[in-house]
Amino acid sequence: MATRSRISPARSKLRILVLHGPNLNLLGTRERSLYGRTTLKAIEAQMAALAKQEHIQVESRQSNLEGELVTWIQEARDRFDAIVINPAGYTHTSIAIRDAIAAVEIPTVEVHLTNIHAREQFRQQSYVAGVAVGQIAGFGPAGYLLGIKAAADHVRHARSSASR
């Protein structure tokens, strides 16, 4: 079952979509030795505080379904300035998510709670990395905040460069 939550002031100009992939709804109880005790709800509260501080709008959604994530990426084209995504297990398997990100041409930051490059070999391959503007991995829940900041900075820099 998918969950959605709107985070931040409605009058914001910069809009960032944060997508959480499969099993991230279990954060706080799932493999605590790897993912810690912080819940997705707590991460979203931290994102809300950051969004308020940065004067941006952040909308957060979680789904265990690959097709739903693809649809949300496609729908983001006219609604969001950037995407922050933790594709979770789909990182290593989903060409469909990779292709959706490439198709919408929205700056995308890939986020992982753990350092996927220091884990099992099959987790070290990311299909998303090749179409993302950057990847943040290994910083736990703070990775989402770093991802939002990086996405906002990237968009602001691009807007600034375009207006010159």
Name the token pair of 142.
Answer: 């703070």
Domains of the chain with bracketed CATH: 3-162 (3.40.50.9100)
Q: Can you give the pLDDT at residue 106?
A: 97
Q: Can you give the pLDDT at residue 10?
A: 41
Phi and psi for 162 in degrees, rounded to 5?
A: -70, -30
pTM of the model: 0.89
Task: State the virtual CA torsion across 94, 95, 97, 101 in degrees, nearest 10.
Answer: 150
Task: State the virtual CA torsion across 8, 9, 13, 15 in degrees, nearest 10.
Answer: 20
Q: Can you give the pLDDT at residue 122?
A: 67
Residues with catalytic roles:
35, 112
Q: By three-state DSSP, how is residue 39 classified?
A: coil
Q: Alpha-carbon distance 99 to 39, whole Å?
A: 29
Question: pLDDT tens, position by position, for the chain (164 residues)?
Answer: 555 544 444 434 899 999 999 999 999 998 788 778 899 999 999 999 999 999 999 999 999 999 999 999 999 999 999 999 999 999 999 999 999 999 999 999 999 999 987 777 867 789 999 999 999 999 999 999 999 999 999 999 998 888 87
